Protein backbone atom coordinates (compact mmCIF):
# COMPACT_ATOMS: atom_id res chain seq x y z
CA UNK A 1 0.00 0.00 0.00
CA UNK A 2 1.26 3.43 -0.86
CA UNK A 3 1.90 5.89 1.92
CA UNK A 4 -1.48 7.09 3.14
CA UNK A 5 -2.11 10.70 3.97
CA UNK A 6 -3.27 10.66 7.55
CA UNK A 7 -5.45 13.24 9.27
CA UNK A 8 -7.08 14.46 6.06
CA UNK A 9 -8.71 17.40 7.78
CA UNK A 10 -6.34 19.99 9.11
CA UNK A 11 -9.13 22.09 10.53
CA UNK A 12 -8.99 22.47 14.26
CA UNK A 13 -12.40 21.38 15.49
CA UNK A 14 -11.79 22.71 18.98
CA UNK A 15 -14.31 25.54 18.80
CA UNK A 16 -16.95 23.41 17.08
CA UNK A 17 -16.46 20.79 19.78
CA UNK A 18 -16.55 23.30 22.63
CA UNK A 19 -19.53 25.28 21.35
CA UNK A 20 -21.44 22.02 20.88
CA UNK A 21 -21.06 21.34 24.60
CA UNK A 22 -21.80 24.94 25.54
CA UNK A 23 -24.96 25.12 23.43
CA UNK A 24 -26.03 21.76 24.88
CA UNK A 25 -25.82 23.14 28.40
CA UNK A 26 -27.70 26.32 27.48
CA UNK A 27 -30.33 24.28 25.63
CA UNK A 28 -31.07 22.16 28.68
CA UNK A 29 -31.70 25.31 30.73
CA UNK A 30 -33.77 26.95 27.99
CA UNK A 31 -35.71 23.76 27.34
CA UNK A 32 -36.67 23.52 31.00
CA UNK A 33 -37.82 27.17 30.89
CA UNK A 34 -39.69 26.57 27.67
CA UNK A 35 -41.46 23.47 28.93
CA UNK A 36 -42.44 25.21 32.15
CA UNK A 37 -43.62 28.48 30.54
CA UNK A 38 -45.24 27.19 27.39
CA UNK A 39 -46.55 23.82 28.45
CA UNK A 40 -46.64 23.02 32.14
CA UNK A 41 -47.92 26.39 33.35
CA UNK A 42 -50.48 26.54 30.53
CA UNK A 43 -52.21 23.20 30.88
CA UNK A 44 -55.87 23.55 30.05
CA UNK A 45 -55.51 26.96 28.45
CA UNK A 46 -57.60 27.59 25.36
CA UNK A 47 -54.99 28.39 22.77
CA UNK A 48 -56.10 30.97 20.24
CA UNK A 49 -54.31 33.45 18.03
CA UNK A 50 -55.07 36.35 20.35
CA UNK A 51 -53.85 34.36 23.35
CA UNK A 52 -50.56 33.60 21.60
CA UNK A 53 -50.33 37.24 20.50
CA UNK A 54 -50.81 38.44 24.06
CA UNK A 55 -48.08 36.17 25.36
CA UNK A 56 -45.66 37.02 22.61
CA UNK A 57 -46.07 40.69 23.50
CA UNK A 58 -43.76 40.00 26.40
CA UNK A 59 -40.05 40.19 25.77
CA UNK A 60 -39.41 37.05 27.87
CA UNK A 61 -41.37 34.79 25.55
CA UNK A 62 -39.82 36.22 22.40
CA UNK A 63 -36.36 35.91 23.90
CA UNK A 64 -36.88 32.29 24.98
CA UNK A 65 -38.41 31.27 21.66
CA UNK A 66 -35.87 32.92 19.38
CA UNK A 67 -32.78 32.08 21.38
CA UNK A 68 -33.94 28.49 21.60
CA UNK A 69 -34.47 28.36 17.87
CA UNK A 70 -31.01 29.74 17.21
CA UNK A 71 -29.36 27.39 19.70
CA UNK A 72 -31.26 24.33 18.51
CA UNK A 73 -30.28 25.07 14.93
CA UNK A 74 -26.65 25.55 15.88
CA UNK A 75 -26.52 22.44 18.03
CA UNK A 76 -28.42 20.29 15.55
CA UNK A 77 -26.57 21.38 12.45
CA UNK A 78 -23.18 21.32 14.15
CA UNK A 79 -24.05 17.79 15.23
CA UNK A 80 -25.02 16.96 11.65
CA UNK A 81 -21.65 18.30 10.56
CA UNK A 82 -19.96 15.93 13.01
CA UNK A 83 -22.02 13.05 11.62
CA UNK A 84 -21.09 13.94 8.04
CA UNK A 85 -17.42 14.32 8.88
CA UNK A 86 -17.32 10.75 10.14
CA UNK A 87 -17.33 9.77 6.48
CA UNK A 88 -14.27 10.18 4.38
CA UNK A 89 -16.12 11.59 1.38
CA UNK A 90 -17.53 14.50 3.37
CA UNK A 91 -14.22 15.28 5.07
CA UNK A 92 -12.77 15.75 1.60
CA UNK A 93 -15.60 18.19 0.74
CA UNK A 94 -15.36 20.06 4.02
CA UNK A 95 -15.90 23.56 2.59
CA UNK A 96 -19.01 22.56 0.69
CA UNK A 97 -20.47 20.89 3.78
CA UNK A 98 -19.73 23.92 5.94
CA UNK A 99 -21.24 26.40 3.50
CA UNK A 100 -24.28 24.19 2.89
CA UNK A 101 -25.00 23.81 6.60
CA UNK A 102 -24.55 27.55 7.27
CA UNK A 103 -27.00 28.41 4.47
CA UNK A 104 -29.48 25.81 5.76
CA UNK A 105 -29.14 27.09 9.31
CA UNK A 106 -29.60 30.75 8.43
CA UNK A 107 -32.52 29.93 6.13
CA UNK A 108 -34.25 27.99 8.89
CA UNK A 109 -33.57 30.75 11.40
CA UNK A 110 -35.10 33.36 9.09
CA UNK A 111 -38.01 31.02 8.45
CA UNK A 112 -38.58 30.61 12.19
CA UNK A 113 -38.41 34.37 12.78
CA UNK A 114 -40.88 35.01 9.97
CA UNK A 115 -43.27 32.38 11.35
CA UNK A 116 -43.64 34.11 14.72
CA UNK A 117 -43.83 37.59 13.19
CA UNK A 118 -47.64 37.60 12.58
CA UNK A 119 -48.21 36.55 16.19
CA UNK A 120 -45.96 39.26 17.59
CA UNK A 121 -47.45 42.02 15.45
CA UNK A 122 -50.99 40.72 15.62
CA UNK B 1 -10.21 -31.41 28.97
CA UNK B 2 -7.68 -33.61 27.35
CA UNK B 3 -8.66 -35.45 24.22
CA UNK B 4 -11.56 -33.17 23.37
CA UNK B 5 -11.84 -32.36 19.70
CA UNK B 6 -12.62 -28.80 18.75
CA UNK B 7 -13.54 -27.41 15.37
CA UNK B 8 -11.78 -24.31 14.12
CA UNK B 9 -13.65 -22.37 11.48
CA UNK B 10 -10.97 -20.28 9.84
CA UNK B 11 -11.58 -17.56 7.31
CA UNK B 12 -9.37 -18.16 4.29
CA UNK B 13 -8.59 -15.54 1.69
CA UNK B 14 -5.79 -15.23 -0.78
CA UNK B 15 -6.14 -11.93 -2.66
CA UNK B 16 -4.16 -13.23 -5.60
CA UNK B 17 -6.37 -16.30 -6.10
CA UNK B 18 -9.77 -15.80 -4.43
CA UNK B 19 -12.47 -13.27 -5.17
CA UNK B 20 -14.21 -13.65 -1.83
CA UNK B 21 -13.19 -15.00 1.54
CA UNK B 22 -14.49 -18.41 2.53
CA UNK B 23 -14.58 -20.45 5.71
CA UNK B 24 -12.62 -23.64 6.15
CA UNK B 25 -13.03 -26.07 9.02
CA UNK B 26 -10.31 -27.95 10.84
CA UNK B 27 -10.63 -30.38 13.72
CA UNK B 28 -7.94 -30.20 16.34
CA UNK B 29 -7.33 -32.40 19.37
CA UNK B 30 -6.99 -30.18 22.42
CA UNK B 31 -4.35 -30.41 25.08
CA UNK B 32 -4.24 -28.85 28.55
CA UNK B 33 -3.17 -25.24 28.40
CA UNK B 34 -3.64 -25.02 24.65
CA UNK B 35 -4.06 -21.54 23.25
CA UNK B 36 -5.78 -20.64 20.01
CA UNK B 37 -2.36 -19.91 18.55
CA UNK B 38 -1.24 -23.44 19.49
CA UNK B 39 -4.34 -24.81 17.76
CA UNK B 40 -3.48 -22.83 14.64
CA UNK B 41 0.04 -24.26 14.76
CA UNK B 42 -1.44 -27.74 15.03
CA UNK B 43 -3.34 -27.04 11.81
CA UNK B 44 -0.31 -25.52 10.12
CA UNK B 45 2.06 -28.33 11.06
CA UNK B 46 -0.14 -31.37 10.59
CA UNK B 47 -3.12 -30.50 8.46
CA UNK B 48 -2.77 -27.55 6.12
CA UNK B 49 0.56 -25.95 5.35
CA UNK B 50 -1.04 -23.15 3.33
CA UNK B 51 -2.69 -21.50 6.33
CA UNK B 52 -1.21 -18.05 6.94
CA UNK B 53 -1.21 -16.19 10.23
CA UNK B 54 1.12 -13.83 12.02
CA UNK B 55 2.82 -14.59 15.32
CA UNK B 56 6.06 -13.94 17.10
CA UNK B 57 6.51 -14.08 20.86
CA UNK B 58 3.58 -16.37 21.85
CA UNK B 59 3.38 -14.55 25.16
CA UNK B 60 1.22 -11.51 24.54
CA UNK B 61 4.07 -9.07 24.22
CA UNK B 62 4.73 -8.57 20.52
CA UNK B 63 1.19 -7.82 19.37
CA UNK B 64 1.40 -9.83 16.16
CA UNK B 65 -1.43 -12.31 16.59
CA UNK B 66 -4.44 -10.06 17.15
CA UNK B 67 -7.44 -11.52 15.33
CA UNK B 68 -11.15 -12.12 15.65
CA UNK B 69 -11.71 -15.23 17.74
CA UNK B 70 -15.29 -16.35 18.33
CA UNK B 71 -16.56 -12.93 17.34
CA UNK B 72 -14.21 -10.97 19.56
CA UNK B 73 -11.01 -9.11 18.78
CA UNK B 74 -8.25 -10.60 20.94
CA UNK B 75 -4.76 -12.06 20.94
CA UNK B 76 -4.57 -15.68 19.76
CA UNK B 77 -1.64 -16.41 22.07
CA UNK B 78 -3.50 -15.22 25.15
CA UNK B 79 -6.81 -16.96 24.48
CA UNK B 80 -7.14 -20.38 26.03
CA UNK B 81 -9.04 -22.90 23.95
CA UNK B 82 -10.58 -24.19 27.19
CA UNK B 83 -12.53 -20.96 27.60
CA UNK B 84 -14.14 -21.46 24.20
CA UNK B 85 -15.20 -25.10 24.54
CA UNK B 86 -18.87 -24.13 24.90
CA UNK B 87 -18.84 -22.96 21.29
CA UNK B 88 -19.78 -25.50 18.66
CA UNK B 89 -16.96 -24.25 16.54
CA UNK B 90 -14.45 -21.47 17.04
CA UNK B 91 -14.68 -18.92 14.25
CA UNK B 92 -11.35 -17.27 13.54
CA UNK B 93 -11.07 -14.37 11.12
CA UNK B 94 -8.60 -11.53 10.57
CA UNK B 95 -8.96 -8.15 12.27
CA UNK B 96 -12.18 -6.54 11.04
CA UNK B 97 -12.13 -3.99 8.21
CA UNK B 98 -8.45 -4.39 7.46
CA UNK B 99 -6.82 -5.22 4.18
CA UNK B 100 -5.99 -8.91 4.21
CA UNK B 101 -2.54 -10.03 3.07
CA UNK B 102 -3.43 -13.69 3.32
CA UNK B 103 -5.85 -15.63 5.52
CA UNK B 104 -5.42 -14.23 9.05
CA UNK B 105 -2.56 -11.85 8.35
CA UNK B 106 -3.64 -8.27 7.76
CA UNK B 107 -1.85 -5.32 6.25
CA UNK B 108 -0.50 -3.05 9.01
CA UNK B 109 0.75 -0.30 6.67
CA UNK B 110 -2.17 2.00 7.40
CA UNK B 111 -1.95 1.32 11.12
CA UNK B 112 1.72 2.20 11.27
CA UNK B 113 1.45 5.24 9.03
CA UNK B 114 -1.25 6.48 11.41
CA UNK B 115 1.12 5.82 14.28
CA UNK B 116 4.05 7.51 12.58
CA UNK B 117 2.09 10.69 11.93
CA UNK B 118 1.95 11.55 15.65
CA UNK B 119 5.76 11.45 16.10
CA UNK B 120 5.87 8.33 18.26
CA UNK B 121 9.30 9.01 19.66
CA UNK B 122 10.80 11.04 22.46
CA UNK B 123 12.12 14.46 21.56
CA UNK B 124 14.46 15.27 24.42
CA UNK B 125 15.19 18.54 26.08
CA UNK B 126 18.42 20.29 25.32
CA UNK B 127 21.06 20.21 26.63
CA UNK B 128 21.07 16.45 26.25
CA UNK B 129 22.33 14.70 29.39
CA UNK B 130 25.54 12.66 29.45
CA UNK B 131 23.89 9.41 30.48
CA UNK B 132 20.13 9.37 30.86
CA UNK B 133 17.22 11.64 31.67
CA UNK B 134 16.50 11.60 35.35
CA UNK B 135 12.86 10.95 36.12
CA UNK B 136 11.27 10.80 39.55
CA UNK B 137 8.94 7.87 40.29
CA UNK B 138 6.08 10.36 40.61
CA UNK B 139 6.78 11.75 37.14
CA UNK B 140 6.65 8.28 35.73
CA UNK B 141 3.10 7.59 37.00
CA UNK B 142 1.14 9.13 34.06
CA UNK B 143 2.98 7.03 31.49
CA UNK B 144 2.90 3.78 33.45
CA UNK B 145 -0.16 2.62 31.61
CA UNK B 146 0.07 3.93 28.02
CA UNK B 147 3.64 2.65 27.81
CA UNK B 148 2.25 -0.91 27.91
CA UNK B 149 0.74 -0.61 24.41
CA UNK B 150 1.97 -3.48 22.25
CA UNK B 151 0.62 -1.99 19.00
CA UNK B 152 -1.39 -5.07 18.09
CA UNK B 153 -4.00 -3.02 16.23
CA UNK B 154 -6.97 -4.39 18.17
CA UNK B 155 -8.27 -0.95 19.15
CA UNK B 156 -7.93 0.74 15.79
CA UNK B 157 -9.53 -2.18 13.97
CA UNK B 158 -12.54 -2.23 16.31
CA UNK B 159 -13.09 1.54 16.14
CA UNK B 160 -15.97 2.30 13.79
CA UNK B 161 -14.61 5.77 13.12
CA UNK B 162 -11.28 4.34 12.02
CA UNK B 163 -13.17 1.99 9.68
CA UNK B 164 -15.02 4.82 8.00
CA UNK B 165 -12.10 7.13 7.39
CA UNK B 166 -8.49 6.01 6.85
CA UNK B 167 -7.54 9.62 7.56
CA UNK B 168 -8.58 9.31 11.21
CA UNK B 169 -5.61 8.70 13.49
CA UNK B 170 -7.35 6.03 15.54
CA UNK B 171 -7.06 5.12 19.23
CA UNK B 172 -3.62 3.50 19.08
CA UNK B 173 -1.94 6.55 17.54
CA UNK B 174 -3.74 8.92 19.91
CA UNK B 175 -2.75 6.82 22.91
CA UNK B 176 0.83 6.93 21.69
CA UNK B 177 0.60 10.69 21.26
CA UNK B 178 -0.69 10.97 24.84
CA UNK B 179 2.12 8.77 26.12
CA UNK B 180 4.72 11.25 24.85
CA UNK B 181 2.63 14.31 25.63
CA UNK B 182 2.57 13.57 29.36
CA UNK B 183 6.18 12.39 29.45
CA UNK B 184 8.17 14.91 31.49
CA UNK B 185 11.26 14.28 29.39
CA UNK B 186 9.54 15.33 26.17
CA UNK B 187 10.11 18.87 24.89
CA UNK B 188 7.53 19.42 22.13
CA UNK B 189 4.07 19.26 23.77
CA UNK B 190 2.74 22.14 21.67
CA UNK B 191 3.77 20.49 18.43
CA UNK B 192 2.17 17.22 19.53
CA UNK B 193 -1.08 19.00 20.32
CA UNK B 194 -0.98 20.67 16.88
CA UNK B 195 -0.66 17.26 15.25
CA UNK B 196 -3.78 15.85 16.86
CA UNK B 197 -5.93 19.00 16.92
CA UNK B 198 -8.07 18.20 13.93
CA UNK B 199 -11.45 16.89 12.85
CA UNK B 200 -9.52 13.76 11.88
CA UNK B 201 -7.61 13.80 15.13
CA UNK B 202 -9.07 13.77 18.62
CA UNK B 203 -12.44 15.20 17.61
CA UNK B 204 -13.33 12.13 15.57
CA UNK B 205 -13.53 10.15 18.80
CA UNK B 206 -17.14 9.87 19.95
CA UNK B 207 -16.40 7.88 23.12
CA UNK B 208 -17.77 4.57 21.87
CA UNK B 209 -15.28 2.76 24.11
CA UNK B 210 -14.78 -0.03 21.55
CA UNK B 211 -11.02 0.44 21.86
CA UNK B 212 -11.19 0.00 25.63
CA UNK B 213 -13.28 -3.14 25.30
CA UNK B 214 -10.95 -4.73 22.77
CA UNK B 215 -7.56 -3.82 24.24
CA UNK B 216 -5.80 -7.05 25.29
CA UNK B 217 -3.63 -5.05 27.68
CA UNK B 218 -6.63 -3.41 29.39
CA UNK B 219 -5.44 0.07 28.48
CA UNK B 220 -7.78 3.02 28.10
CA UNK B 221 -7.22 4.91 24.84
CA UNK B 222 -10.53 6.74 25.25
CA UNK B 223 -9.33 8.32 28.47
CA UNK B 224 -6.10 9.36 26.76
CA UNK B 225 -8.07 10.97 23.93
CA UNK B 226 -10.38 12.78 26.36
CA UNK B 227 -7.42 14.10 28.37
CA UNK B 228 -5.90 15.44 25.16
CA UNK B 229 -9.18 17.16 24.30
CA UNK B 230 -9.08 18.85 27.71
CA UNK B 231 -5.49 19.98 27.09
CA UNK B 232 -6.50 21.34 23.68
CA UNK B 233 -9.46 23.36 24.93
CA UNK B 234 -7.39 24.72 27.81
CA UNK B 235 -4.77 25.84 25.31
CA UNK B 236 -7.48 27.42 23.15
CA UNK B 237 -9.15 29.26 26.03
CA UNK B 238 -6.15 30.30 28.11
CA UNK B 239 -3.47 30.58 25.45
CA UNK B 240 -0.31 28.70 24.69
CA UNK B 241 2.15 28.20 27.45
CA UNK B 242 5.35 30.12 26.99
CA UNK B 243 8.33 27.93 26.52
CA UNK B 244 10.47 28.14 29.62
CA UNK C 1 -10.86 -5.49 2.85
CA UNK C 2 -13.93 -4.25 1.06
CA UNK C 3 -16.87 -6.61 0.80
CA UNK C 4 -20.26 -5.48 -0.32
CA UNK C 5 -22.10 -8.71 0.28
CA UNK C 6 -24.91 -8.36 2.80
CA UNK C 7 -24.26 -11.78 4.27
CA UNK C 8 -20.76 -10.80 5.29
CA UNK C 9 -22.00 -7.65 6.92
CA UNK C 10 -24.80 -9.03 9.03
CA UNK C 11 -24.28 -12.77 9.15
CA UNK C 12 -23.62 -14.69 12.34
CA UNK C 13 -20.02 -14.48 13.51
CA UNK C 14 -19.61 -11.74 10.99
CA UNK C 15 -16.18 -10.21 11.00
CA UNK C 16 -17.73 -6.77 10.69
CA UNK C 17 -19.28 -6.42 14.10
CA UNK C 18 -16.93 -7.69 16.78
CA UNK C 19 -18.73 -8.50 20.02
CA UNK C 20 -16.22 -6.31 21.82
CA UNK C 21 -18.76 -3.56 21.21
CA UNK C 22 -20.59 -3.03 24.47
CA UNK C 23 -22.52 -0.36 26.39
CA UNK C 24 -20.49 2.60 25.17
CA UNK C 25 -21.05 1.72 21.53
CA UNK C 26 -24.81 1.26 21.80
CA UNK C 27 -25.14 4.39 23.94
CA UNK C 28 -23.47 6.26 21.10
CA UNK C 29 -25.77 4.66 18.48
CA UNK C 30 -28.80 5.79 20.49
CA UNK C 31 -27.33 9.25 20.92
CA UNK C 32 -26.74 9.64 17.22
CA UNK C 33 -30.15 8.29 16.18
CA UNK C 34 -32.05 10.53 18.62
CA UNK C 35 -29.87 13.46 17.57
CA UNK C 36 -30.70 13.03 13.89
CA UNK C 37 -34.38 12.50 14.77
CA UNK C 38 -34.45 15.77 16.71
CA UNK C 39 -32.91 17.66 13.77
CA UNK C 40 -35.72 16.30 11.60
CA UNK C 41 -38.18 17.29 14.34
CA UNK C 42 -37.01 20.92 14.28
CA UNK C 43 -37.75 21.02 10.57
CA UNK C 44 -41.20 19.42 11.05
CA UNK C 45 -41.93 21.77 13.95
CA UNK C 46 -41.15 24.84 11.84
CA UNK C 47 -43.23 23.64 8.92
CA UNK C 48 -46.14 22.88 11.26
CA UNK C 49 -45.96 26.33 12.86
CA UNK C 50 -45.69 28.02 9.49
CA UNK C 51 -49.10 26.53 8.68
CA UNK C 52 -50.39 27.92 11.94
CA UNK C 53 -49.28 31.46 11.22
CA UNK C 54 -51.36 31.78 8.06
CA UNK C 55 -54.84 32.50 9.45
CA UNK C 56 -56.90 32.25 12.62
CA UNK C 57 -59.40 29.64 11.37
CA UNK C 58 -56.55 27.50 10.22
CA UNK C 59 -54.97 28.04 13.62
CA UNK C 60 -57.94 26.69 15.54
CA UNK C 61 -58.05 23.61 13.32
CA UNK C 62 -54.39 22.96 13.90
CA UNK C 63 -54.80 23.27 17.64
CA UNK C 64 -57.43 20.54 17.39
CA UNK C 65 -54.87 18.34 15.63
CA UNK C 66 -52.35 18.82 18.40
CA UNK C 67 -54.89 17.61 20.94
CA UNK C 68 -55.42 14.25 19.22
CA UNK C 69 -54.14 11.27 21.24
CA UNK C 70 -51.89 10.11 18.40
CA UNK C 71 -50.29 13.55 18.24
CA UNK C 72 -49.83 13.66 22.00
CA UNK C 73 -48.27 10.23 21.88
CA UNK C 74 -45.80 11.54 19.30
CA UNK C 75 -45.13 14.39 21.73
CA UNK C 76 -44.36 11.79 24.38
CA UNK C 77 -41.92 10.02 22.06
CA UNK C 78 -40.29 13.38 21.36
CA UNK C 79 -39.90 13.97 25.09
CA UNK C 80 -38.33 10.51 25.47
CA UNK C 81 -35.85 11.22 22.66
CA UNK C 82 -34.94 14.58 24.16
CA UNK C 83 -34.46 13.06 27.62
CA UNK C 84 -32.24 10.26 26.31
CA UNK C 85 -30.20 12.66 24.20
CA UNK C 86 -29.82 15.06 27.11
CA UNK C 87 -28.87 12.45 29.70
CA UNK C 88 -26.40 10.65 27.45
CA UNK C 89 -25.12 14.05 26.36
CA UNK C 90 -24.54 14.86 30.02
CA UNK C 91 -22.56 11.62 30.31
CA UNK C 92 -20.43 12.60 27.32
CA UNK C 93 -19.81 16.04 28.80
CA UNK C 94 -18.71 14.37 32.05
CA UNK C 95 -16.19 12.35 30.05
CA UNK C 96 -15.05 15.54 28.34
CA UNK C 97 -14.33 16.95 31.76
CA UNK C 98 -12.39 13.81 32.62
CA UNK C 99 -14.94 12.46 35.09
CA UNK C 100 -15.95 8.81 35.22
CA UNK C 101 -14.23 7.59 32.06
CA UNK C 102 -13.07 4.43 33.83
CA UNK C 103 -16.60 3.78 35.05
CA UNK C 104 -18.40 4.57 31.81
CA UNK C 105 -20.84 1.68 32.10
CA UNK C 106 -21.98 2.56 35.61
CA UNK C 107 -22.26 6.21 34.57
CA UNK C 108 -24.43 5.16 31.64
CA UNK C 109 -26.83 3.18 33.80
CA UNK C 110 -27.01 5.94 36.42
CA UNK C 111 -27.91 8.38 33.64
CA UNK C 112 -30.49 5.97 32.28
CA UNK C 113 -32.02 5.62 35.75
CA UNK C 114 -32.39 9.40 35.93
CA UNK C 115 -33.77 9.39 32.39
CA UNK C 116 -36.31 6.72 33.35
CA UNK C 117 -37.51 8.82 36.28
CA UNK C 118 -37.86 11.84 33.98
CA UNK C 119 -39.74 9.79 31.37
CA UNK C 120 -42.14 8.48 34.01
CA UNK C 121 -42.63 12.03 35.24
CA UNK C 122 -43.28 13.28 31.71
CA UNK C 123 -45.74 10.46 31.11
CA UNK C 124 -47.55 11.26 34.34
CA UNK C 125 -47.82 14.94 33.45
CA UNK C 126 -49.06 14.17 29.95
CA UNK C 127 -51.49 11.55 31.24
CA UNK C 128 -52.92 13.49 34.16
CA UNK C 129 -53.22 16.68 32.15
CA UNK C 130 -55.04 15.40 29.17
CA UNK C 131 -53.29 12.74 27.21
CA UNK C 132 -56.80 11.79 26.13
CA UNK C 133 -59.07 14.73 26.89
CA UNK C 134 -57.30 17.06 24.53
CA UNK C 135 -56.25 19.97 26.72
CA UNK C 136 -52.59 19.54 26.04
CA UNK C 137 -50.83 21.76 23.60
- Note the ipTM here: 0.87
Total-model pTM: 0.89
| Top mean-pLDDT range of A70-74, B189-193, C18-22 | A70-74
Residue A9 lies in a domain: no
Cβ neighbours of C88 in B, within 8 Å: none
**Which chains are within 8 Å of C by 3+ CB pairs?**
A, B
CA–CA separation, B119 and B186 (whole Å): 11
Q: pLDDT category, A41, cuts 50, 70, 90?
A: low
Residue A106 lies in a domain: yes
Residue A17 lies in a domain: no
Contact B63, B95 (CB under 8 A): no
Total domain count, chain A:
1
More reliable by pLDDT, B137 or A13: B137
Cβ neighbours of B214 in C, within 8 Å: 18, 20
Cβ neighbours of C85 in B, within 8 Å: none
CA–CA separation, A117 and A115 (whole Å): 6
Of C39, C59, C89, nearest to A76 by CB-CB distance is C39
- Listed range (B166-170, B215-219, C8-12) with the worst mean pLDDT: C8-12
Strand order in B5-12's β-sheet? B22-29, B5-12, B90-93, B66-69, B72-75
- Listed range (A11-15, B13-17, B204-208, C42-46) with the worst mean pLDDT: A11-15
CA distance B106 to chain C (A): 9
The confidence score (pLDDT) of residue A2 equals 39
CA–CA separation, C97 and B150 (whole Å): 28
- Angle, in degrees to the nearest 10, between helices C56-66 and C23-52: 150
Domain parsing of chain C, residue ranges: 12-128
Residue A1 lies in a domain: no
Average pLDDT over residues B121-145: 89
Domain span at residue A82 reads 22-38+47-121
Residue A2 lies in a domain: no
CA–CA separation, A71 and A121 (whole Å): 24
Residue A88 lies in a domain: yes
Residue B140 — left, alpha, or beta (φ > 0 → left; ψ -120 to 50 → alpha)?
Answer: alpha
CATH number belonging to domain C12-128: 1.20.1300.10
Interface residue A1 vs chain C (CB under 8 A) = no
The confidence score (pLDDT) of residue C56 equals 57
CA–CA separation, A102 and C55 (whole Å): 31
The confidence score (pLDDT) of residue B244 equals 47
Residue A111 lies in a domain: yes
Of C36, C53, C130, nearest to A119 by CB-CB distance is C53
Of B110, B198, B204, nearest to A12 by CB-CB distance is B198
Residue A105 lies in a domain: yes
Confidence check: pLDDT of A83 > 90 = yes
The confidence score (pLDDT) of residue A53 equals 78
The confidence score (pLDDT) of residue A72 equals 95
The confidence score (pLDDT) of residue B128 equals 86
Cβ neighbours of A5 in B, within 8 Å: 167
Confidence check: pLDDT of B21 > 60 = yes
Each residue's pLDDT, cut to its tens digit, for chain C (137 residues) gives 344 444 455 544 455 677 888 889 999 999 999 999 999 999 998 888 887 776 555 777 777 777 777 888 888 899 999 999 999 999 999 999 989 899 999 999 999 999 999 999 888 887 776 555 544 44
Average pLDDT over residues A2-7: 52
Amino acid sequence: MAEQRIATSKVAGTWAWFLQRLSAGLLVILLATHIFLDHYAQVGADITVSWVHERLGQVLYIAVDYSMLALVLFHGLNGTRTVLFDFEMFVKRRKAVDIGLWILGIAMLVWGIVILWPFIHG
Amino acid sequence: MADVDITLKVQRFDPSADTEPYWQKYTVKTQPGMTVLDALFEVLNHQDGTLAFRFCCRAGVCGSCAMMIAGKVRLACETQVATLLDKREIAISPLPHQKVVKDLAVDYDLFFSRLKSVKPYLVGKEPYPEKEYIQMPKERVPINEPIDCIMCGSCTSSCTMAWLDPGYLGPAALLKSYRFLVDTRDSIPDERLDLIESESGVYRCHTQFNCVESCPKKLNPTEAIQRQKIKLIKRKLFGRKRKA
Amino acid sequence: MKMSSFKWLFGRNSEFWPTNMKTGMWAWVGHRLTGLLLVVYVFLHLSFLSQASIGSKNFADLMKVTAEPAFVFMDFLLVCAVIYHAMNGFRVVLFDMGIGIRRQKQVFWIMMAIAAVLVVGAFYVLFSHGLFDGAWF
